[in-house]
Amino acid sequence: LGAWATPAVTGSTVWLFLFDPDFGPVNRMLGLGDHSWTYGRISAFFLVLLEVVWCSFPFVMVTVYAGIRAVPTEVLEAASLDGASQWRIWRSVLAPMLRPILVVVTIQSVIWDFKVFTQIYVMTNGGGIAGQNLVLNVYAYQQAFASSQYGLGSAIGVVMLLILLAVTLVYLRLLRRQGEEL
């Protein structure tokens, strides 16, 4: 759970050190020499993706584990006694029972990951070379505060708000439907 409690700036700095071209242990272990992970568009996004997944994994893991623990053991025993393999038990028993939790966790992760600003800003030094690693919130920040185009920055913020509002409405509808099923 330490990854979830780690501030985004600290976590991003640690990841930058791990993948540093000169001193990073990852390049040494992989034998990549002075390969820079933050200069390429795809490798920089991949590095940020790894760090965001690392930070959100504890929440997802604890939530899914709680869902698995809530499954009645009688249901699993009945499936086992009926001769179902472990794969069949997962596919036919556990997965359908965990579907509401997996949907809620996925939507909540989308909402949280939509606001990824610090990781991209810190790890790509403000959006990467020539802005190749910009996401909406970093672009809005650059337009509003670096270029003094406050109208464009706030318009991007409104678009982001509308997108998140739509995702949140889907999330609330699923929560309400899950409450009705219980």
Mean pLDDT per 10-residue section of the chain, whose length is 182 residues = 70 89 89 84 88 87 93 92 92 90 85 83 79 83 90 93 88 75 54
What is the reported pLDDT for 52? 87
What is the reported pLDDT for 181? 59
What is the reported pLDDT for 150? 94
CATH superfamily of 2-181: MetI-like (1.10.3720.10)
Are the CB atoms for 144 and 154 separated by under 8 Å?
Answer: yes
What is the reported pLDDT for 91? 92
Distance of CA 18 to the CA centre of its chain: 19
CA distance linking residue 20 with residue 58, whole number of Å: 25
What is the reported pLDDT for 56? 85
What is the reported pLDDT for 74? 93
What is the reported pLDDT for 5? 60
CB atoms within 10 A of CB 81: 8
- Packed helices 150-181 and 95-114: angle between N→C axes, nearest 10 degrees: 160
Domain boundaries in the chain?
Answer: 2-181
Q: Which residues of 40-72 are buried (b: 16+ CB within 10 A; e: fewer)?
A: beeebbebbeebbeebbeebbeebeeebeeeee
How many residues appear in the chain?
A: 182
What is the reported pLDDT for 22? 87
DSSP state of 6: S
Q: Report residue 35: phi and psi, to 5°.
A: -65, 130
Give the predicted TM-score (pTM) of the model. Answer: 0.73
Give the angle subtended at the CA of 169 by the CAs of 168 and 174, to the nearest 5°.
95
